[in-house]
Amino acid sequence: MKKSKEIRVLVVSNMYPDKNSYFGIFVKNQVESLEKLGVNIAKIVKTKRSIFAYMPFISKSILYLLFTSYDLIHAHYGLHSALPFAILKKKPLLITFHRGDALDEPYRNEVYYYLQKFVVSRADHIIAVSKEIKKALINNLNAHPDRISTISYGVDTALFHCMDKVTMRNKLNLSQNKRIILFVGALSYRKGVDIIYKCAKSLRNIDFVLVGQGNLKTDLPNCVFVGPKPHDQVPLWMNAADIFLLPSRSEGSPNVILEACFCGVPVIASAVGGIPNMINDGKNGFIVRTHDPKDYAEAIRELLLNRQKINLIKIKARESVRRNHDNQVIANKIKSIYENLV
């Protein structure tokens, strides 16, 4: 049998973790999963959030563009990574849009809008991580519907899995006697942490543990702030929780929901971004369709009172992730796009 040609892909991303962060960890996980499938990947990545990190990032992009051989470019986060390759296009261009690059940044000013529209027009194919982002690309940036695939992030099911709750709580010095609601993310208005605090105020006998950093905090005694944690420690916190709560006002495709699901933690989340694509309300998690803290508090109460429902949700949630969102499942979908483009 004739061996298929190895695909050489240049991945360009303005968000990628170094050893001390998980900034853009979903891009890194995707790259590693594709490499396991035999895709030959070279990377141009920006690992620091500073605007000054763009200078070496763009310079390296131009050098690779002019002097390196590859079969296609896979750029993450719209114009921030794709612009040089869209201007001087030598090979097929695939762009993944993650959230802000489609929903926020085109409306900063006219320059952002036309540059984002330009890279969309130059893309041979686009990956949108949610249906909401796909719709925005088509309606607002004139993307061709036939050239867009909706593909969420994948889950590292070897890292995120079920562990013993008692053991995890002992390890993390958390109470064995209290119900624990977990949040993981930026402590921001967009993520709905103010809604969490209002829930905590009405549910005084429940501890709300928040993993992440940000300026939006409260002094409520049942809100516990543990700061940001390395990505490989997040499963410990998930397995210590009774419920994972994400009341965001805007999202792309929050991988943290899928990670919680595969840890066997029931999810209560808002109906924004790609969340309704991940959570089938009442089947593998729960959707709250308002931003009213009373509705979230009521959902928490009802779920904690129904142990049978919790157990059923865990089983269905884990099966959904295993079938649809495992890293290798997602990597196979993306590899098929590579092969079609090449």
Any idea which of 194-198, 224-228, 272-276 has the lowest mean pLDDT? 272-276
Please, are residues 247 and 269 in contact by the beta-carbon 8 Å criterion?
yes
108/80 same-domain check: yes
Please, are residues 7 and 342 in contact by the beta-carbon 8 Å criterion?
yes
49/107 same-domain check: yes
Region 193-206: mean pLDDT is 97
334/309 same-domain check: no
DSSP result, 175-222: -SSSEEEEEES--STTTTHHHHHHHHHH-TTEEEEEES--S-----TT
Average pLDDT, the chain: 93
104: pLDDT confidence band, cut at 50, 70 and 90? confident
Burial 265-282 (b: 16+ CB within 10 A, else e): bbbbbbebbbbbebbeee
129/184 same-domain check: no
Listed residue (259, 316, 255) closest to 285, CA to CA: 316
Q: Report how far residue 49's alpha carbon sits from residue 172's, in angstroms, rounded to the nearest whole number.
A: 29
2: pLDDT confidence band, cut at 50, 70 and 90? very low
Region 221-244: mean pLDDT is 95
Is the model's pLDDT at 15 over the cut of 60?
yes
Is the model's pLDDT at 1 over the cut of 50?
no
DSSP result, 230-273: -GGGHHHHHHT-SEEEE--SS-S--HHHHHHHHTT--EEEES-T
207/67 same-domain check: no
23: pLDDT confidence band, cut at 50, 70 and 90? confident
Name the pTM for this structure: 0.87
Which pLDDT tens digit goes with each residue over 273-293?
A: 889 989 999 899 999 999 999
Domain housing 170: 165-324
What local confidence, expressed as pLDDT, does residue 335 receive?
A: 96
4: pLDDT confidence band, cut at 50, 70 and 90? low
Q: Report how far residue 45's alpha carbon sits from residue 26's, in angstroms, rounded to the nearest whole number.
A: 13
Q: Report how far residue 45's alpha carbon sits from residue 325's, in angstroms, rounded to the nearest whole number.
A: 24
130/210 same-domain check: no
**CATH number of the structural domain spanning residue 283:** 3.40.50.2000
Is the model's pLDDT at 47 over the cut of 70?
yes
133/192 same-domain check: no
Size of the chain in residues: 342
| Percent of the chain clearing pLDDT 90 (strictly above) | 80
> How many domains in the chain?
2
110/259 same-domain check: no
318/199 same-domain check: yes
Listed residue (153, 147, 116, 133) closest to 22, CA to CA: 153
Is the model's pLDDT at 220 over the cut of 90?
yes
Query: Which residues, at least 6 apart from 152, have a Cβ–Cβ distance to it below 8 Å?
Result: 129, 130, 253, 255, 258, 274, 277, 278, 325, 330
Region 162-187: mean pLDDT is 96
